Amino acid sequence: MDKSHLQNLRHSAAHLLAAAVKDLYHGAQNAIGPAIENGFYQDFDMGKWTVSEADLPKIEKRMREMLKKWGPFEEQEVTVERALKDFRDNPYKVELINDFAKEGKKITENNPGNFLDLCKGGHSKNPKVELKNFKLLSVAGAYWKGDEKKKMLTRIYGTLFPTREELDKYLWQLQEAKKRDHRKLGRELDLFVISENIGKGLPLLTPKGYQIRRQILEYEYKLEQQSGFQQVFTPHLARSEMYKKTGHWQHYRDVMYAPFGIDGDEYVLKPMNCPHHYMIYASKPRSYRELPIRLSEPGTCYRYEKTGELAGLLRVRALSIDDSHILMTDSQIESEFALCIAMVKKMFTAFALRDFYVRLSLSDPSDAVKYIADSATWKKAGDKLEKIVRNNKLNYKIAKGEASFYGPKLDFIVKDSLGREWQMSTLQLDLFMAKRLNLVYIDENGKDVNPVILHRGLTGSIERTLAILIEHFAGAFPLWLSPVQVAILPISDKQVEYSDKIRQLLEVEGIRVELNPENKTIGAKIRESTLQKIPYMVIIGAEEIQRLYISVRTREGKNLGVMNISQFIQKLKAQIEKFQ
């Protein structure tokens, strides 16, 4: 089904939800009800009423009853006076009507038979058939127009699909997603903490969480060493004047934290790493013989996210971006993009994220505010990127208006084990910033030339990547990423000393190991290690000591039998190398 048609159906379902709620809860007023990705929502001022998720089945039932009498949505343009009269009892509609009038927008009403509403259009032609596969999902709070100073409304979320099969599949995905929620697993597996004493959106990684982060960064470092990248380190703040020069101040001011003074100068916490890397490049004369220069850093940046938009590790206020900025000649663009694309592909394989496509994000020439005004350069950059994705045989989709203010980009969209899509890696082509900051190199003719810049985010945010991987693997990380790779479980106190020797042998070989010496039954220890999703369990009893062997079991419950410690270490190393 065409995506725009599906959006129309979901938007129509939002009207149906509004009709049912207003019918069941007299005095309730509906505000807005758009279609969103995977569903729809409707905001309500419930007046004297309150609703919870326990009320959703009742609302659904009323929606289905009303749907039987609905016909095609009839849409008509009306005057401001007519609209104000029709919705005089709804202050939210009145406010919208007045807003539209000031902006010179046309005002349209729609009615599927027994529910008049204000809407710009885009609805079902056959509601009785097309709207039947819906489900209400949850209830939340939302400020009117997203303004924290305005009234808190009740938001009811729902979803709709063309067929029952698609709806059932999506509901199954939601249930599985709840089980895999990285916030839930993060607590159960002791991976990260969000403390009110530290602040919202500022996650604290525990030793186990840090170990996963470390493995990701060490793997990236290994990839970068193989590809000629140079690691740098930059501070967490800079003079605000720098961001005004680059244009970030004008385009990202709403996500930057308030400036503060140091010795009479104005500083900000850095929202991105780019300017710091540019100044390393600009610190001395550069020759064309040095290019490309690939500067890399997993730098922590700070961006203001509204409290209601924070989501565990997925949306944070302190994010570590595995950034690189490649400064190069125009003739090196295609080879440098090919190099970065190969790195991204290799990394996705290590993460078992093999299903992905690329969103080719281009500028919207009609938006003179968002983008640097230079149509010829934008066209050149966009054409170059499209050639690159074709030459590298990437599956891609074009997204007009999704480019950064300084250049088009390739956004890599991966599908996880539940089929959900996540944006991860980004490669951006920048033909503007070097000229704006007077970054130059001396070419073979002795002339100053502005380099081209490739902005590379290998995964994007490390925190977001960690959240995606927790949910993708349901906490059962592959061996190379697991914070604890082996649990050693002595059957009784008599085997603790021998077990500790095994622990030391494994640690010398670089294996991350945990010894459980507690006075518990071996069954209880196995259950604990299984719940912690530790890949391997080494069970040691009197017989193992006598034969100088170990018994090995997997977290899936498979008994691998007895083997000597050297065999086990070889097995582990071979498995780690296979994934990397």
Q: How many CB atoms lie within 10 A of CB 483?
A: 23
Q: What is the dihedral of CA 130, 132, 137, 139, to 10 degrees?
A: 90
Say if residue 490 is in the same domain as residue 463. no
More confident residue, 553 or 306: 553
**Dist CA 45 CA 28 (whole Å):** 6
Q: Comparing 60-64, 121-125, 401-405, 508-512, which segment has the lowest mean pLDDT?
A: 401-405
| Residue that finishes a domain, picked among 439, 472, 505 | 472
% of the chain beyond a pLDDT of 70: 98
Residue 539 pLDDT greater than 60, yes or no: yes
Please state, rounded to an integer, the average pLDDT across all residues of the chain: 92
Q: How many CB atoms lie within 10 A of CB 521?
A: 11
Residue 370 pLDDT greater than 60, yes or no: no
The answer to whether position 271 is within a domain reads yes
Tokens of 384: 């170059």
The answer to whether position 251 is within a domain reads yes
Backbone angles phi, psi at 551, to 5 degrees: -100, 135
Tokens of 451: 């380099």
pTM: 0.85
- For residue 59, the domain's CATH number is 3.30.980.10
pLDDT value, residue 371: 56
Whole-Å CA distances, 328 to 283, 324, 337: 16, 13, 11
Say if residue 410 is in the same domain as residue 313. yes
**Dist CA 272 CA 238 (whole Å):** 10
Say if residue 466 is in the same domain as residue 499. no
| Residue that finishes a domain, picked among 421, 443, 472 | 472
CB 511 within 8 A of CB 486: yes
* pLDDT tens digit sequence for 189-234: 999 999 999 999 999 999 999 999 999 999 999 999 999 999 999 9
Note down the domain range covering 518: 486-579
How does DSSP assign 251-283, residue by residue?
A: HHGGGSPPPEEETTEEEEE-S-SHHHHHHHHTT
**Dist CA 62 CA 369 (whole Å):** 46
The answer to whether position 395 is within a domain reads yes
pLDDT value, residue 481: 96
More confident residue, 526 or 104: 526
**Type of residue found at 386:** E
Say if residue 358 is in the same domain as residue 254. yes
- For residue 534, the domain's CATH number is 3.40.50.800
**Dist CA 118 CA 105 (whole Å):** 13
Backbone angles phi, psi at 98, to 5 degrees: -65, -40
Residue 2 pLDDT greater than 80, yes or no: no
**Dist CA 189 CA 516 (whole Å):** 16
* pLDDT tens digit sequence for 465-493: 999 999 999 999 999 999 999 999 999 99
pLDDT value, residue 9: 93
Please give the tally of structural domains in the chain: 3
Binding residues: 274, 325, 455
pLDDT value, residue 132: 93
* pLDDT tens digit sequence for 90-127: 999 999 999 998 888 899 988 888 899 998 778 888 99
CB 69 within 8 A of CB 63: no
Per DSSP, the three-state class of 29 is: strand
Binding residues for Zn(2+): 274, 325, 455
pLDDT value, residue 366: 59
The answer to whether position 7 is within a domain reads yes
The answer to whether position 50 is within a domain reads yes
